[in-house]
């Protein structure tokens, strides 16, 4: 178990995994029952799915024929467990509505009767992969399904994938849901994964506030990880290339995140938490980091000065290697 997994394990927040049994196809989707979606949203989705089935029936058939979550598909794999996220990502936007239908309207079944899972564990793995694939598309048509999936999550993996999908959508509603969830111990880990994917200044400020208020080393590390991801230089460079009007916001996000991480280094003594803070600061590649760390060193005690000096050297080495 690596350092980050140790941090997550120490939080002891994982939701229970679903039990393994043989499920029957039922009304509703793989993951959501009819009542999980507002009536209007369900009707709108059903109408869109009906149209798409006429336009592109092969996409629905392809989703139903996924093999990675069936025993025949994964029994010979290296991990030997149901995984189909990679397969479900293949269809990209062409599979959005088939995946939403599978999750929320009707469990998938091929023309030959094939169902892409047999046990509850396999069904759960299919749903987890479908949520991941849908989230990567950043399509607002998935909004209601993703919010419902997050609310109905019964495992940490499902909660994490749904939260990340909400963060990638990144609207005000998604931000509000994730910030609210970050205030609860049972949903903190997933919420932080989502906030880290929510590339906007409001998310960075919420993370900075959470990091400043964190009381335990594990919580400091979790908030620090989110700060590094929300301010990731690599991610913001891609955003700026696609949307030049967001260049100023990119700088603001990295400034907010870098300051919160540097300030946390002044008072954090736990070695794992300090390491997460340093690595997350590196992720920002914030040009003002050396000056910021120097400023804070003048106000810190001897131990804090040592941590800040270490962070400054590590940051300089990291930038040189880029």
Per-residue 3-state assignment (H helix, E strand, C coil) for 111-138: CCCCCCCCCHHHHHHHHHHHHHHHHHHC
Q: Global pTM?
A: 0.89
> What digits encode the pLDDT tens for the residues 200-255?
999 999 999 999 999 999 999 999 999 999 999 999 999 999 999 999 999 999 99
Long-range Cβ pairs for the range 307-312 (8 Å, 24+):
307/265, 307/266, 307/268, 307/274, 308/262, 308/265, 308/266, 310/278, 311/262, 311/265, 311/277, 311/278, 311/281
Q: If pLDDT is split at 50, 70 and 90, which confidence band does 78 have?
A: confident
pLDDT tens digits along 13-71: 444 433 333 344 445 899 998 889 999 999 999 999 999 999 999 999 999 999 999 99
Q: Which residue carries 């996409």 as its tokens?
A: 59
């Amino acid at each position: 178990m690596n350092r980050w997994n140790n941090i997550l394990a120490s939080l002891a927040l994982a939701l229970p995994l679903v039990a393994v049994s043989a499920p029957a196809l039922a009304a509703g989707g793989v993951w959501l029952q009819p009542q999980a979606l507002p009536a209007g949203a369900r009707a709108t989705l059903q109408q869109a799915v009906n149209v798409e089935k006429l336009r592109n029936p092969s996409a629905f058939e392809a989703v139903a024929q996924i093999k990675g979550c069936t025993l025949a598909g994964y029994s010979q794999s290296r991990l030997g467990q149901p995984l189909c996220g990679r397969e479900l990502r293949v269809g990209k936007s062409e599979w959005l509505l088939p995946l939403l239908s599978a999750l929320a309207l009707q469990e998938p079944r091929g023309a030959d009767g094939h169902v892409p899972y047999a046990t509850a564990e396999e069904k759960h793995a299919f749903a987890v992969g479908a949520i991941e694939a849908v989230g990567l598309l950043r399509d607002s048509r998935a909004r209601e399904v993703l919010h419902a999936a997050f609310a109905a999550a019964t495992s940490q993996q499902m909660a994490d994938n749904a939260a990340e999908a909400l963060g990638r959508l990144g609207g005000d509603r998604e931000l509000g849901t994730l910030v609210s969830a970050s205030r609860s111990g049972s949903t903190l880990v997933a919420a932080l994964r989502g906030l880290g994917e929510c590339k906007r200044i409001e998310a960075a400020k919420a993370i900075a506030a959470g990091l400043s208020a964190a009381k335990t080393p594990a919580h400091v590390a979790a908030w620090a990880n989110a700060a590094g991801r929300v301010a990731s230089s690599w991610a913001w460079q891609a955003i700026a290339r696609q949307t030049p009007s967001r260049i100023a916001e990119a700088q603001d996000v990295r400034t907010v995140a870098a300051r919160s991480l540097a300030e946390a280094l002044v008072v954090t003594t736990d070695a794992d938490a300090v390491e997460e803070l340093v690595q997350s600061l590196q992720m920002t590649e914030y040009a003002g980091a050396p000056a910021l760390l120097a400023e804070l060193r003048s106000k810190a005690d001897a131990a804090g000065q040592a941590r800040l000096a270490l962070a400054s050297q590590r940051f300089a080495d990291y930038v040189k290697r880029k």
